[in-house]
């Protein structure tokens, strides 16, 4: 792998400091040097890429990813795809995330028991292109809640979207099965969801005994536990049992916020607000108009989620973008829309939003101190962006604006031929 020098770039380094003009030298898979100003770094034996003033920023982290979601209207439709097609689909989605600048993704649940692990392993071995990836289990749920899709007359567990358990021993067995398959994260559905009749977002489903066993078994193997927790009770339950990743967390009251804050150095929150926003305002694509979305509780949940996230951010809790793309109302690839939502709905500045998907992303990937910033010694996951994301965060939604995408020191996307002729020069 040749040494690469990005020169004449505006470095948005993911530390929080304002961008500066400079140079970045990549050696192997690490950032070797960061220089301020031009022609400060040695050019002997490197391939120099003249960024012509483009922005160089860390690769982004998607905090709540489902490679296995099939851009369908329902959970049921995702699950009905046979294994073979599903694997090929997930592989193509993994590449798509990298194409859009997501160099890291945190798996939030997979629709087939081994799918996430297989994709992660294939990426790591170089068999398929994709982001750094942490593999998740299926959603583990209980009878009647989100993810239990079994019909009374067709009681086939393998046809259910989630793994359905009832009681601690069922739970122990399910968690051990996923640990055997090699997951990085075990996912529990603690609350319901407005998509499920009879199990809306404010309802709680899993018993403390079931959650306790799941956490115990996962921690024995050193793995993290994440949860789908929209309701107040489920957020508190997740904190009582020491869960690590809280998805949604819409209805956090003061007590829940106190509990989250007490664990802020360990936990990560990803609201996945696209589901709420899209169904509320753009649900017609799946036959849900605004009045129906309101009846389903989405207006109420959006208001609660916005208030909860703002309160969490004030308390220093890490809230990350991304989440639940891969449905008909929010297809894969549109994930950077979340950055715009963070600015528009949560009141974060573009800088804060970028820090949440870079610096905090590296921490959520369990690589804090070596991923998510442009810093000497850090892993070389880099995006060369045509434009300034700080003045227009929405440019990160446009893959054509990503002139170059580097993961682990290797280009996934090189500057194009024309640009390469203009910008790149080899220095002997």
Judged by the rule CB under 5 A, the positions of this chain that interact with Zn ion are 108, 324
Q: Where are the alpha helices (DSSP H) in 322-413?
A: 337-346, 350-357, 359-364
Report, in Å, the least distance between residue 108 CB and Zn ion: 5
Of 81 and 136, nearer to Zn ion (C-beta) is 136
Q: Which helix (H) or strand (E) holds 47?
A: strand 46-50
Check: CB of residue 188 under 8 Å from CB of residue 211.
Answer: yes
Neighbours of 28 (CB within 10 A): 12
6/161 with CB nearer Zn ion? 161
Work out how close the CB of 120 gets to Zn ion at its nearest, in angstroms, rounded to a whole number: 17
DSSP code of 229? E
Q: What is the DSSP letter of 114?
A: T
210 or 324: whose CB is closer to Zn ion? 324
Q: How far is the CB of 109 from Zn ion (least distance, A)?
A: 6
Helix (H/G/I), strand (E/B), else coil: 110:
coil
> Is there a contact between 222 and 196 (Cβ–Cβ < 8 Å)?
no
Nearest to Zn ion of 122, 246 (CB atom): 246
Q: What is residue 59's DSSP assignment?
A: P
Provide, rounded to whole angstroms, the least separation between the CB of residue 293 and Zn ion.
Answer: 18
Residue closer to Zn ion, measured from CB, 108 or 213: 108
CA–CA distances in Å: residue 67 to residues 95, 337, 402 = 10, 17, 21
3-state secondary structure of 345: helix
Closest contact distance (angstroms) between CB of 248 and Zn ion is: 8
> Which element (helix H / strand E) includes 224?
strand 224-229
Q: What is the rounded distance in angstroms from the CA atom of residue 59 to the CA atom of residue 359?
A: 10
Task: Tell the smallest beta-carbon distance from residue 270 to Zn ion (Å).
Answer: 9
By beta-carbon proximity to Zn ion, the closer residue of 230 and 318 is 230
* Residue whose CB is less far from Zn ion, 195 or 390: 195
Smallest gap from Cβ 144 to Zn ion, in A, equals 19
Closer by beta carbon to Zn ion, 189 or else 237: 189
Distance separating alpha carbons of residues 94 and 107, to the nearest angstrom: 11
Secondary structure of 275-335 in the HEC alphabet? HHHHHHHHHHHHCCCHHHHHHCCHHHHHHHHHHHHHHHHHCCCCECCCCCCCECCECCCCC
The least distance separating Zn ion from the CB of residue 249, rounded to whole angstroms, comes to: 13
Residue, CB closest to Zn ion: 324
Spatial distance between the Cα atoms of 196 and 214, rounded to a whole number of angstroms: 24
Query: Between 185 and 232, whose beta carbon lies closer to Zn ion?
Result: 185
> Which stretches of 126-195 are assigned E, i.e. beta strand?
132-134, 136-141, 163-164, 185-189
For the bound state, the minimum distance from the C-beta of residue 268 to Zn ion, rounded and expressed in Å, comes to 14
Q: d(Cα 72, Cα 161) in Å, to the nearest integer?
A: 13
Nearest approach in angstroms of CB 397 to Zn ion is 20
Pick between residue 14 and residue 147 the one whose CB is nearest to Zn ion.
147
């Amino acid at each position: 792998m040749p040494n690469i020098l990005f020169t004449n770039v505006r470095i948005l380094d993911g530390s929080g400091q304002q961008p500066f003009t400079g140079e970045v030298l990549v050696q192997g898979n690490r950032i070797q040097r960061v220089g301020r100003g031009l022609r400060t770094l040695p050019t002997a034996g490197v391939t120099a890429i003249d960024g012509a003033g483009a922005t160089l920023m860390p690769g982004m982290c998607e905090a709540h990813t489902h490679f296995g979601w099939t851009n369908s209207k329902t959970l049921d439709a995702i699950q009905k795809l046979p294994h073979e097609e599903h694997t090929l689909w997930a592989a193509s989605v993994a590449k798509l995330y990298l194409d859009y600048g997501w160099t890291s993704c945190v798996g939030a649940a997979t629709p087939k028991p081994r799918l996430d692990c297989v994709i992660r392993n294939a990426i790591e071995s170089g068999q398929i292109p994709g982001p750094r990836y942490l593999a998740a289990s299926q959603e583990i749920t209980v009878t009647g809640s989100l993810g239990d899709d079994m019909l009374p007359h067709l009681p086939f567990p393998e046809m259910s979207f989630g793994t359905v358990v009832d009681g601690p021993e069922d739970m122990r067995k399910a968690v051990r099965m996923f640990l055997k398959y090699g997951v990085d994260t075990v996912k529990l559905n603690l609350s319901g969801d407005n998509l499920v009749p009879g199990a809306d977002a404010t309802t709680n489903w899993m018993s403390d005994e079931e959650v306790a066993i799941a956490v115990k078994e996962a921690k024995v193997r050193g793995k993290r536990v994440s949860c789908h927790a929209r309701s107040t009770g489920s957020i508190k339950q997740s904190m009582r049992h020491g869960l690590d990743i809280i998805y949604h967390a819409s209805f956090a009251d003061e007590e829940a916020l106190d509990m989250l804050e007490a664990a802020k150095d360990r936990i990560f929150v990803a609201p996945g607000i696209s589901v709420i926003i899209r169904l509320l305002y753009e649900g017609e694509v799946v036959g849900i108009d605004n009045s129906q979305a309101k009846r389903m509780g989405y207006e109420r949940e959006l208001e609660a989620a916005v208030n909860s996230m703002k309160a969490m951010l004030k308390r220093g809790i890490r809230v990350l973008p991304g989440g639940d793309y891969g449905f008909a109302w929010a297809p894969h690839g549109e994930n950077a829309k979340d950055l715009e939502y963070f600015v528009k709905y949560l009141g974060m500045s573009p800088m804060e939003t970028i820090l949440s998907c870079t610096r905090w992303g590296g921490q959520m990937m369990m690589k804090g101190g070596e991923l998510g910033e442009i810093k000497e010694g850090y892993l070389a996951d880099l995006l060369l962006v045509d434009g300034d994301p700080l003045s227009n965060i929405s440019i990160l939604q446009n893959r054509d604006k990503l002139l170059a995408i580097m993961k682990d020191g290797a280009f996934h996307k090189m500057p194009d031929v024309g640009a390469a002729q203009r910008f790149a020069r080899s220095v002997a």
